[in-house]
Amino acid sequence: MTTDPPELSEKLVNSGQGAAANAADIPVSNRAAANEISGEGENSDDGEDQPAVSVDVSAAKKKKNKKKKPKKKQPKTQTDPPSIPISQLFPNNTYPKGEEVEYKDDNRYRTTNEEKRHLDNLNSDFLSDYRQAAEAHRQVRQWAQRSIKPGQTLLEIANGIEDSARRLVGHDGLTEGDSLIAGMGFPTGLNIDNVVAHYSPNAGCKTVLKESNVLKVDIGIHVGGRIVDSAFTMAFDPVYDNLLAAVKDATNTGVREAGIDVRVGELGGLIQEAMESYECEINGKTHPIKAVRNLCGHTILPYSIHGTKTVPFVKSNDTTKMEEGDVFAIETFGSTGVGRYVEGGEVSHYALRGDTNRKDLTLASARNVLGAIKKNFSTIPFCRRYLDRIGQEKYLLGVC
């Protein structure tokens, strides 16, 4: 997807318990523990004229028999880059809650009616899986924000993020079906300048991040099919600060105003109002920031990043209501251009359609790769690099 001048995207997963993160997209023209050891020794005296020394034998025995207290194990701390599985950092499977956003006063009835009843009936695995994935996402995201610098290739950045994510959820995805237990929720999106979304570097990509670029980083991590989808934008030139501020404000507005019975068309209007209250000056020219009209936030289903409901960034007549149990990715994209995207660019994301039948495929390569996709990714989006990792060869014609 590409658009006109600088655009930003920001998204936050809203699942009722607050898991998630920020994003911004812009297209054209984002110990040392020293163990101190002390020892006591005995002096042997061979001379006959040495003075007698009285010894309290009972006290000596007590001292000798005194057991040393076992040293307390220091809590594990994360490495840099992150590599210790989240389950080892939180051994009781009690993962931290994400940020929780309170309803406004006029919406507080929701916490005592449908939503409360739904939460009371939630399977504990639902929250545990989401919170584990969210904590893994938070740690990977924070590391990426510290480590991404101009001069790196997009391929280096993507592999670094994905290798860390897989280590943190404890599944490298190299054995059949392993990546369906936990792993990447979709290929890491690395979208530069006017590329809005859905680009991940393919093998051999030599694109290098420049100081002048605006980079949108979109990361998805899942545990048990519960996908945490969150993104952020990096801009190395402060000229784009207002653009980043606009999408953050819009996303925070969307999360704050979301809830049971909220109509998505009205929510889009509130997001648009926040976004378009900003402007950005580039090369002496002031650009009003516009919400990208033909992109939307969306619900997330188990093992499926795009559900059936959408949340627009602009006011619309869509009367669809948010309901208890829905999981939404609140995404916002702002642009200094015309505020629309067009399809184009290299294909890098693939996903299995539910109606795909192996018998309908005439090419042997297509049937082989379909079998590998079903066993390793199912309906989770993937990219060519993921097929390379599991040893697939000569598959390109089969996925086209």
The answer to whether residues 258 and 328 touch, using CB atoms and an 8 Å cutoff, is yes
- Which two tokens mark 206? 């030599």
DSSP strand pairing (285-288 vs 279-282): antiparallel
From first CA to last CA, the distance across the chain in angstroms is 18
CA-atom Rg of the chain in angstroms? 27
222 is in an annotated binding site: no
**Is position 7 annotated in a ligand binding site?**
no
Reduced to 3 states (helix: H, G, I; strand: E, B; else coil), residue 117 is helix
Alpha carbon separation from 326 to 178, 194, 260 (Å, rounded):
27, 31, 9
For residues 301 and 325, give the distance between their C-alpha atoms in angstroms, rounded to a whole number: 10
Half-sphere exposure at residue 187, Cβ-oriented, CA atoms within 13 angstroms = 25
From the list 287, 164, 183, 292, the residue with the least C-alpha distance to 228 is: 183
Provide the sign of the torsion angle of the four alpha carbons 392, 398, 399, 400, taken in this order: positive
Binding residue per annotation — 306?
yes
Residue 331 labelled as part of a binding site? yes
Is 218 assigned to a binding site? Answer: yes
Cis status of the peptide bond prior to 6, with omega within 30 of 0: no
What separation in angstroms does the CA of 289 have from each of 236, 237, 338?
19, 17, 9
Instruction: State the Cα–Cα distance between residues 166 and 246, nearest whole angstrom.
Output: 32
Residue 137 among known ligand-binding residues: no
Contact by Cβ (8 Å): 1, 343: yes
Strands (E), the chain: 2-3, 7-14, 182-192, 214-223, 226-235, 279-282, 285-288, 290-291, 296-299, 310-312, 328-335, 341-342
Pick out the residues of the known binding site for a divalent metal cation: 218, 229, 298, 331
Binding-site residue set for substrate: 198, 306
**Which residues does the annotation place in the binding site?**
198, 218, 229, 298, 306, 331
